[in-house]
A and B are shown apart, each in its own frame.
Chain A
């Protein structure tokens, strides 16, 4: 069976070589009808890609029919690159995949021209070609989606970085205003950036403000406690502030023990406590005078 397959495959390579120009022209024409996006890509660039694809396909199909084989490495590499650039240029997934699928019509035409008299051979050849082109098309779609996913992942990471600023409020006092839901990945970054901040600024007190955290469940509370413990291990005190009434109720209902942690209702309360603990005192000069009178 394998030998017949290989035999058929080498035919496909020969067919492409013989009818190269016809296939190429037909393919370009079909593409202009369906997926041509002259606003996103130059005509010459598209032609160059088609040329390259055909040459690589010819080389690969003369050796093997399985697109996972090493003979297809350069072809897969090229398709991956095309998908990546198209995803970035703004092509849709459908347009990117149709780039490959639209070769079918002209390729089938060429096969019919060459093998038209031998209907059994023609059917075999067409089946093989369909298999290869479908696999390549799916590969392209996959590569396209992967590129998009990479973009999403990168943006997520950037969002994580952006959403955990450590601010210095006073000599030896840090604040970490948290906004958004806390999950394990985020807590890890929050914890790391807070601890790094403590080391860099030599701070003795850190305030974690959770005003912007929409819900606190057992998992979030556990994450917060972990952060507080880690800060304590490094020799810094942690105060949790911005506990809203509903959240306070939830915490009690869930039976979470925050007794070992100092909590304050607002950031300003926490700040004045932090000032006190660091041995500072805030005085308003005018008030002093009025007391003296």
Chain B
């Protein structure tokens, strides 16, 4: 069965969506991710959707759900690289993804995660990559 890979980078989990999301794939991702967070005790999840060009309300809700679930498991979620067309579609669908944090690209997203996990004093590239 098709699966979206979840990579571990130190304390964070990295998910890159590079195929068109269909509903079953989204459900699988949600399950897998929740399991991985609890297994690894990850502090943050970064979802890169820069290759995602088509969204519907289901995918939008899935992103919101992933963020909420992760928060319950004590992990921050950052969605990065959303395409303009995707952002417009989500807004037109009335989904502003209130609970989800966003960043322009993976770099900015990682920075955001580090800040939120470590507090502001340790925003330099750092201690996880020894």
Residues of A within 8 A of B (CB): 188, 191-192, 195-196, 198-199, 202-204, 226, 229-236
Asked whether, in the complex, the Cβ of A233 is within 8 Å of the Cβ of B104, the reply is no
B102 at the binding interface (Cβ < 8 Å): yes
B90 at the binding interface (Cβ < 8 Å): yes
Asked whether, in the complex, the Cβ of B96 is within 8 Å of the Cβ of A233, the reply is yes
Report the contact-size class of chain B (Cβ under 8 Å from the partner).
Answer: 20 to 34
Which of the candidate stretches B2-10, B22-30, B80-88 sits at the interface with the other chain? B80-88
**CB of A259, distance to nearest CB on chain B (Å):** 14
Residues of B within 8 A of A (CB): 79-84, 86-88, 90-92, 96-97, 102-105, 108-109
Asked whether, in the complex, the Cβ of B88 is within 8 Å of the Cβ of A235, the reply is no
Number of inter-chain CB pairs below 8 Å: 56
Among B102, B105, B108, B109, the residue within 8 A (CB) of A233 is B102
**CB of A231, distance to nearest CB on chain B (Å):** 7
In the bound assembly, the distance between CA atoms of A138 and B4 in angstroms comes to 62
Asked whether, in the complex, the Cβ of A204 is within 8 Å of the Cβ of B84, the reply is no
Asked whether, in the complex, the Cβ of A235 is within 8 Å of the Cβ of B91, the reply is no
A233: nearest chain-B partner, CB-CB:
B87
Q: Can you give 21 A-B contacts (C-beta < 8 A)? A: A188-B88, A192-B84, A198-B84, A198-B104, A199-B84, A199-B104, A229-B96, A230-B84, A230-B88, A231-B87, A233-B79, A233-B82, A233-B86, A233-B96, A233-B97, A234-B83, A235-B79, A235-B80, A235-B81, A235-B104, A235-B105
CB contact under 8 A between A235 and B82, given known A198-B104, A226-B91, A230-B91: yes
Asked whether, in the complex, the Cβ of A234 is within 8 Å of the Cβ of B105, the reply is no
Asked whether, in the complex, the Cβ of B108 is within 8 Å of the Cβ of A234, the reply is no
B102: nearest chain-A partner, CB-CB:
A235
A195: nearest chain-B partner, CB-CB:
B84
CB contact under 8 A between A204 and B91, given known A232-B96, A234-B84, A235-B82: no
With a CB–CB cut-off of 8 A, which chain A residues contact B92?
226
In the bound assembly, the distance between CA atoms of A202 and B104 in angstroms comes to 7
A236: nearest chain-B partner, CB-CB:
B104
**CB of A236, distance to nearest CB on chain B (Å):** 6
CB contact under 8 A between A233 and B103, given known A199-B84, A204-B108: no
**CB of A287, distance to nearest CB on chain B (Å):** 28
With a CB–CB cut-off of 8 A, which chain A residues contact B108?
204, 235
With a CB–CB cut-off of 8 A, which chain B residues contact A192?
84, 88
**CB of B110, distance to nearest CB on chain A (Å):** 12
**CB of B15, distance to nearest CB on chain A (Å):** 16
CB contact under 8 A between A204 and B87, given known A229-B96, A233-B97: no
Among A188, A195, A202, A203, the residue within 8 A (CB) of B87 is A195
In the bound assembly, the distance between CA atoms of A47 and B129 in angstroms comes to 85
In the bound assembly, the distance between CA atoms of A232 and B97 in angstroms comes to 10
**CB of A274, distance to nearest CB on chain B (Å):** 15
With a CB–CB cut-off of 8 A, which chain B residues contact A204?
104, 108
With a CB–CB cut-off of 8 A, which chain A residues contact B109?
235
**CB of B91, distance to nearest CB on chain A (Å):** 5
**CB of B93, distance to nearest CB on chain A (Å):** 11
With a CB–CB cut-off of 8 A, which chain B residues contact A235?
79-82, 102-105, 108-109
With a CB–CB cut-off of 8 A, which chain A residues contact B83?
199, 234
**CB of B88, distance to nearest CB on chain A (Å):** 6
With a CB–CB cut-off of 8 A, which chain A residues contact B86?
233
Contacts A199-B104, A226-B92, A235-B82 supplied; 20 other A-B pairs, CB < 8 Å: A192-B84, A192-B88, A195-B88, A196-B84, A199-B83, A202-B105, A226-B91, A230-B87, A232-B102, A233-B82, A233-B91, A233-B96, A233-B102, A234-B82, A234-B83, A234-B104, A235-B104, A235-B105, A235-B108, A235-B109
